[in-house]
Amino acid sequence: MKSKLIFSILVMLGIGLSSVSALPYYEPASLVMFPFYTVGDSNTNLILTNTNNVEGTIIRVTFINYFDQLKSVSCQEFNQDFYLTPNQQIKLMLSDSLYTGSTGFVAVTAINPDGSLKDFDYLAGIAFISDIQVTPYVYDNYNGIPFKKISNNPEYDNAGIIMFNETYTALPEKLIEDFYSTIDPEYSTTKFAIIPSEDPTEPNLPSYNLFSFVNGNVNMEFENYIWDNNEYYTSDYSESETCGLYLYINDIFNSRKTNSGWIEFTRNKDATPGITAGYNIGGIKIFTDLVDRQYLGVSNLHREGYQQGKLRISNSPASPSVTSLLSG
């Protein structure tokens, strides 16, 4: 009976692989975003899985750094193509391919051999972040944020343009962290990494750069509700010429040493006239307890609301070394 049951499940998986709808948990998707990687004293291990039983795919893994300590540059793009056979999983230790001292985010997309975006809602990913600020060595993991392909539009797909809420599932209107603390940095640190998107209604953006809004500002409004008395704060934080935000919580609440509550991260699109930017794609919180239990807590920010946005990745044909696997 056992073997029959298991074989039946294999049959079901083999034939009816696909999810029938997007649901409120981490489903495999055509685009998986990792808001944060780090290489250097800390390190990142990306694990990418093709959950399809019968079909392989080419994936384009695009790294964009928030800041490269060694080269003192930011928003540099670097991509690698891989071919994932059915059920294949790959591990990428990012220190093997990225400069020490760099931090940034990662976009993993299913692509066709010509470089166009592919409808392939079977990619799942998880990132292990290690941190040696504390001893002994600690790490935590977080899931890549999935975005399913919901329609095909050659105009966008061939150009490598991801249109959230049009060709891919929607972006959140707000990112929310429900459990923060700003205490003495000697004892713990809380950082946030947040990826913004382009304004999809802006027609005049150059097309050559992955994040062509890099000359714009990342303006965010932070709303802070203190849980014990509903005390309410709003603070703005802005940073220009960046393709992502990586900041300490004490940069936001530098006047308060100790408090806890929750924060909404909302893009304030009107904060700087003439600057266009879309909503945030996603973000994570990185909490490091340096003294008490000494651990690292990395988790995705919660989301609320649905918005449009745009993201570009390179649409160059897939690497010949990868496409050769298809013909073989």
Partner 1 sequence: MSNKDLGKKIQALLVFSLAIIFLASAVSAENITQTPDQDVQQLPMSIPTLSTFSAHKDAVPDEAGSFLVYPYYASSINMHSSSFTQISITNTGDKEVIVKLLFVDGSNCLVSDNYLTLSAHQSTFFSASDYVPETSGFLIAYAVNNTIDNKPAKYNHLIGSARVSAVISGVYCDGEYNAYTFKALNYDYPLLSLTFDNDHFEHWPNTLMAPGILPLPEDYRQFVILVTPSFDMLQNNLVMLVYDDAEQVYSAMSTFTCQLVKVINDDFPRTAPRFDTVIPAGRSGWMRLIKVNDNGAAPMLGLLMTCGQTTLGGIEQIHGACFSNGCQNATLSGGFQ
Interactions with partner 1, residue window 21-80 (CB under 8 A)? 21-28, 47-49, 51
194: contact with partner 1 by CB under 8 A: no
Which of 112/307 has CB closer to partner 1?
A: 307
Which of 16/254 has CB closer to partner 1?
A: 16
d(C-alpha 74, C-alpha 242), whole Å:
7
In the window 258-277, what residues touch partner 1 (CB under 8 A)? 260-262, 264
Rounded to a whole number of angstroms, the minimum distance from the CB of residue 126 to partner 1 is 4
d(C-alpha 42, C-alpha 113), whole Å:
34
Handedness of CA 102, 36, 271, 227 (dihedral sign): negative
d(C-alpha 235, C-alpha 247), whole Å:
14
Bond preceding residue 136 cis, omega within 30 of 0 = yes
Q: How many residues bind partner 1 (CB under 8 A)?
A: 84
Instruction: Mention every residue, 6+ apart, whose C-beta is less than 8 A from residue 264.
Output: 174, 175, 176, 221, 222, 223
Rounded to a whole number of angstroms, the minimum distance from the CB of residue 208 to partner 1 is 29
In the window 90-129, what residues touch partner 1 (CB under 8 A)? 91, 119, 121, 124-126, 128
Rounded to a whole number of angstroms, the minimum distance from the CB of residue 195 to partner 1 is 14
91 within 8 A of 46, measured Cβ to Cβ: yes
Which of 68/177 has CB closer to partner 1?
A: 177
10: contact with partner 1 by CB under 8 A: yes
Which of 11/70 has CB closer to partner 1?
A: 11
Helix (H) or strand (E) holding 94: none
208: contact with partner 1 by CB under 8 A: no
**Tokens coding 317:** 């044909």
State which of residues 159, 302, 317, 325 lies at the interface with partner 1 (CB under 8 A). 302
In the window 127-186, what residues touch partner 1 (CB under 8 A)? 128, 134, 136-143, 145-146, 148, 150, 165, 169-170, 172, 176, 178-179
Rounded to a whole number of angstroms, the minimum distance from the CB of residue 26 to partner 1 is 4
State which of residues 86, 101, 185, 317 lies at the interface with partner 1 (CB under 8 A). 86
Rounded to a whole number of angstroms, the minimum distance from the CB of residue 20 to partner 1 is 4
**Tokens coding 71:** 């080269």
CB hemisphere CA count around 284 (13 angstroms): 25
250: contact with partner 1 by CB under 8 A: no
290: contact with partner 1 by CB under 8 A: no
Helix (H) or strand (E) holding 4: helix 2-15
235: contact with partner 1 by CB under 8 A: no
Read off φ and ψ for residue 140, nearest 5 degrees. Answer: -145, 170
209: contact with partner 1 by CB under 8 A: no
Long-range contacts of 150-157 (CB under 8 A, 24+ apart): 150/22, 152/119, 154/116, 156/117, 157/116, 157/117, 157/118
300: contact with partner 1 by CB under 8 A: yes
